[in-house]
Amino acid sequence: MTVFESVPEATFRAKVHRFAKEHIAPIAQKVEEGMFPRDVLQKLGQQHFLGAAFSKTDRGGGLGWSFEVIVAEEVSAVSAATEMARLASGALYAAPLAYFATRAQKDEFLGPVLAGDKVGALALTEPGAGSDAGSIKTRAERKAGDFVLNGEKRFITNGGVADFLFVFAVTDPAKPPRSGVSALVVPRESNGVGVVKTYGLLGMHGANVVHLRFRNVRVPEENVVGRLHRGFPILLDELDRERPAVAAGMLGIARSAFESAVDYSSKRKQFGRPIKEFEGVSFKLSDMLVKLEASRLLILKAARLLDQGKLARLEGAIAKLFATESAFEITHQALQVYGGIGYTKDLPIERYFRDARFMMIGGGTSEIMRFLIQREIYKDRIRRSS
C-alpha cells in the first residue's frame, strides 16, 4: 500500500473549490470562446493541483488518486474545458511518467509540467485505433542510436499547445501489440511534428483537441519510458487511472447543472407558485441527486483501490460508465427544468448539456466500458470456480 500525506479530504475540497471560484470562474467564458488557460495551469501547479496524486519529490501533491478526482470534480464544475486541459497535462500525460519514468526523465519531462511551467499531452488515439488501442500503427524505428517516429495521432487534447507529448508507438512490428509497443516522450518542437487540424467540438469549447502527424521525427533513446517494447502495461495503467478521473470531471458538470436547476425551480413561478412544488419538477431533482451521490461513491471506490496499489479495472469502468451516462441524464433533465430559457445561450445550462455528452465517447466509449465490465464478470466467475 502506498503511503500518502494525511490531509482531510473535506479541507482539500474546500481549498480547490475556493481556487476554482477565484481563479477559474472569472476566465471560464474566455476559455469557452477559445482561450487556452495556460496561466491558470501555472497557478494550479503552484497549488499542487496538477499531479495531486504524485509524490512531492516529483513536484506533485503527495496525496493520492482520491484527491486527484476531487480536483477534477471541482475544476470541471466551474469550467469543463479548463479541466480537460488540466487533466490531460497534470494527470493523463503525467501519470505514466510518475509511475514508470527514471529520475532523469522525471526531472526533465515531469517536474516542469506539474509545476505548470510546461504543458503535456497524451498521444494514444489514431485514425484507425480508438477503442481498440492495441491496433496503433504509429512506428518508432531504431536508427543510429535514436528512434525515428512516423504516424498520426487523432483527438489529442492539448496536442496543439503542449511542450511534451507522451506517445505510444510500435517499436517491434513482428511482435503482438502487448509486447511490441513502447512509450516515448517527444518534445513538441521536434522537427517533423505537425498539426494536421484543430477540431471544432460540439461541447468543451476552448479545449485544444488536434490531429497530429509525425514525419521522420528523431527521438533520443533516453526518451523511452519504461523498458523497450514494454509500453502496453504503461498504457493499461494509464487507462485504469484515467477512467475515474474523467468520470469525476463529468460529475462536476452534473453537479453544477443540478445546483442550477434547484435554484431556478425555487424562483421560477407558474400557475401562481414555484415550479419546485410540482412533482414533475421536484422528482427530477430527486433522481438527479441520487445519480450524483452514487457517481461520487463509485468514483471514490475506484480511486481508493488505486491508492492501495490494487487493480481497479472493473471499478474504474463501472465508475466511468455510470457517472458519464448519469451526467448526461442530469444535464438533460436540468435543461428540461429550465424550459425554453435553458435552450438559449443566455444561461450556462446549455453548455453543461453539451459538455456532458463528451465523455460517453472520450476516454473509452460506454460500449467499451460495458465490454470491460462483462469481461471482468466472467473472469471472476472462472476464478471462483477453479
* pLDDT above 80 for 122: yes
Task: Find the angle CA(113)-CA(114)-CA(119) to the nearest 5 degrees.
Answer: 25
Residue 1 in this model has a pLDDT that exceeds 50: no
pLDDT reported for residue 386: 73
Residues of the chain with CATH 1.20.140.10: 232-381
Rounded average pLDDT over 334-362: 96
Average of per-residue pLDDT across 308-334: 97
Question: Helices marked H in 158-230 — which ranges?
Answer: 177-180
User: The whole model's pTM is what?
Assistant: 0.94
Q: How does pLDDT run across 130-165, given as a tens digit for each residue?
A: 878 778 999 999 998 899 999 999 999 999 999 999
Residue 4 has pLDDT above 70, yes or no: no
Class of domain 9-118: mainly alpha
User: How many other CB atoms are found less than 10 A from the CB of residue 42?
Assistant: 15
Q: Which fold has domain 232-381?
A: Butyryl-CoA Dehydrogenase, subunit A; domain 3 (1.20.140)
- 128, 120 contact by CB (below 8 A): no
Nearest to 216 by CA among 291, 280, 140, 309: 140
Domain 122-229 falls in which CATH fold? Butyryl-CoA Dehydrogenase, subunit A; domain 2 (2.40.110)
Cell of 218: 528523431
According to CATH, where is 2.40.110.10 located in the chain?
A: 122-229
Residues of each domain in the chain carrying CATH 1.10.540.10: 9-118
What's the whole-number average pLDDT of the chain?
A: 95
Q: Which residue has the cell 519514468?
A: 101
Is residue 78 within 8 Å of 24, Cβ to Cβ?
yes
Closest Cα partner for 154 from 127, 188, 131, 176?
127
What's residue 110's pLDDT?
98
